[in-house]
Amino acid sequence: MQYSTAEQKIKKLLLTQPAPTALQKVVDILFEGFEKYSWVGIYLVKGNMLVLGPWKGTQATQHTKIPLGQGVCGAAATSGRTELVDDVLKDKRYLSCFLSTRSEIVVPIRKSGVVLGEIDIDSDRPAAFDTYDVRFLEKVADMLRTHI
């Protein structure tokens, strides 16, 4: 799927769906629309933890709760900046979820400068994510801020 097509689908969906349903459907669009996305999840900030919300992939992750500041997800949540890891095997922060994962992108969902959650995407391909993914997923995260 093209980024612009996915963006339009997500915009339309967010206008018509309530929050819990919308989040799962956005995850579904991302997972099903981009072959290189092998696992897609949304974590929500609850106190000092990231708590796994809707997700889609071939299997569940064992990391359903991640302390803020821990791992790539925790780093993105505390810094408020997108984290892009081209090779998870070379990043000491990476919390191993799946043996097949080679790269990861984590995009914070912010509202008024406060991180409410994040989009976490794994890929079985090394260096799978580029500036197009960053821009696209940051737009998606911005759209999601009203649904968290």
| pLDDT attached to residue 76 | 96
Give pTM, 2 decimals.
0.94
Give 28's strand partners.
none
* Residue 86, φ and ψ in degrees, nearest 5: -75, -30
**Cβ contact 45:116 at 8 Å:** yes
Mean pLDDT of the chain: 93
Chain CA centroid to CA 106, Å? 5
Q: How confident is the model at residue 120 (pLDDT cuts 50, 70, 90)?
A: very high
Between CA 49 and CA 59, with CA 54 as vertex, the angle to 5 degrees is: 100
The pLDDT tens digits for 4-35 are 999 999 999 999 998 889 999 999 999 999 99
DSSP assignment letter at 58: S
